[in-house]
A and B are shown apart, each in its own frame.
Chain A
Amino acid sequence: MRYEVSADIYEGPLPLLVELAKQHLIDIFLIKLVDLTTQYLAAVKASGVDLNQLAEPLPLLGSLIALKARSLLPRPDQPAEEDEVPISLEELERRLKEYEQFKTVAQLLAELHALQHQHFTRAPGEEPQAQPSTEAQAGSFDVSIAELMGAFAKVLERASAAVYEVQAEPWTVEMKVQELRVLLTVRQQVRLLELLTPDKSKLELVVTFLALLELIRQRVARAFQERAFGDILVACRDAAA
């Protein structure tokens, strides 16, 4: 059901009244709001059944009141608003025209772009070798920070070496040579398998073996077997001699 109102100069549905007032097609000052509100109150008291129907005119009435209240206020706002939009009609027209032109050339650029991409060249980057000197003559230009960052990012992308930790070597050949010298001085003769016990790490075994070879090369130690298939023994050359 439409909520109808009747005021001095208007009789009809409320939504239309609000719309007319908003469009300034009806002078809000000629509408007595008090008439409308009393009518509404009367309607509420009369029916009091359907809340939805009763609530419907409320926002409309509210907006009417707001509209009137606003027009009652003095209007210092008005010139301020105009300040914000200083564009004259001619200026607006000029700007629109200017923008239209840019739109036209943008379209042309799109066509140029499409056209140019119908041409193929040799794959870029096949240039034999860049000659910086002649390049500079041809017209060098400064590289922006963004381009530098971009170039660096590419380098980083290509960086293939994995990150690893450098560890101090726990055993060195020199260390093991010293050890073996001492050992051979004390023991004169050692079984090879005593030197290379399985509880040692592979690296230590390798280093120990290298140290042994070094000592043999220096003719400090010698390796021998007492019998075929027997244990290999390491002995101090002086002692053996």
Chain B
Amino acid sequence: MDDAQAKRIVEALLFVFGEPVGLKRLADAMDGCTVPQVRQYIETLNQEYASSGRAFQIQEVAGGYQLVTDIQLAPWIRKALASPKPDSVSKGALETLAIIAYRQPITKAEMEAIRGVDVTAALDTLVERRFVRVTGRKESAGRPFLYGTTSEFLHHFGLGSLEALPPMEHPTLLEPTEADAEPSTQQQ
């Protein structure tokens, strides 16, 4: 299979799937294709879309790739789908989400220490919308739940991975109360 054909297959597969597909899965579907090759095809496709002004682009999101429409077409699509404006996330929930995203895994008490207010409602919203979930329990008094973000979160915020989070300008000092400092890879 030549490159042109392989590229077409990648395009077709991305068209068929409604959600992000991993490179590995794409490569597996195409005999004799490696992951770097698939990534190359995706890049080429994206360049072609951009240069020829097509309606699509391939987006890296939540550890996979998906075919999405161009942002400029949103008004028409929304009208045709009769879909209301995207449900927004409240400020409190967003702040809580940001804290979880950058500090995960983190307990509710630790979030509240940062925000200075009760986060029960915000946390409930986030769990309900599947942006965060319980990832474990902290081995401290009371064994409180630890929360972390989900791939749904990456999906809804257009992030390829946690590394793609916007960097916090100044890396914050660690909580003095935080006995077990988290391997905060997501901050780099």
Contacts and interface: CB of A to CB of B under 8 A. Distances in A.
Most A C-beta atoms less than 10 A away, residue of B63, B98, B172: B98
A94 B172 CA distance: 9
Given A109-B94, A110-B89, A147 B133 contact: yes
Interface stretch (B1-9, B38-46, B156-164): B156-164
Q: Is the interface of A mostly helix, strand, loop or mixed?
A: helix
Nearest to A135: B25
Contacts of B91: 106, 110
Interface string B165-183: 1101110110010000000
Q: Is the interface of B mostly helix, strand, loop or mixed?
A: mixed
A134 B25 contact: yes
Contact of A122 (B15, B28, B102): B15
Interface in A170-205: none
Contacts of A120: 68-69, 73-74, 77, 81
A128 B16 contact: yes
A118 B70 CA distance: 8
A123 B66 CA distance: 12
Size category, B interface = 35 or more
A110 B88 contact: yes
Contacts of A94: 173
Contacts of B113: 95
A146 B130 CA distance: 10
Contact of B133 (A124, A128, A134, A146): A146
Contacts of B158: 112, 115-116, 119
Contact of B97 (A91, A106, A116, A126): A106
A20 interface: no
B114 interface: yes
Interface in B27-54: 28
A190 B98 CA distance: 88
A116 to B, nearest CB: 4
Interface residues of A, number: 42
The 10 closest A-B pairs by CB, nearest first: A117-B86, A116-B158, A119-B68, A118-B74, A138-B22, A106-B98, A122-B18, A106-B94, A118-B71, A106-B95
17 contacts: A105-B101, A106-B95, A109-B98, A109-B101, A113-B157, A114-B86, A116-B157, A118-B74, A120-B73, A121-B19, A121-B67, A121-B69, A122-B15, A126-B18, A127-B17, A128-B16, A134-B25
Interface of A: 91, 94-95, 97-99, 101-110, 112-128, 131, 134, 137-139, 141, 144, 146-147
Interface of B: 15-19, 22, 24-25, 28, 57, 59, 61, 63-64, 66-71, 73-74, 77, 81, 86, 88-89, 91, 94-95, 97-99, 101-102, 113-116, 127, 130, 133-134, 151, 156-159, 165-166, 168-170, 172-173, 176
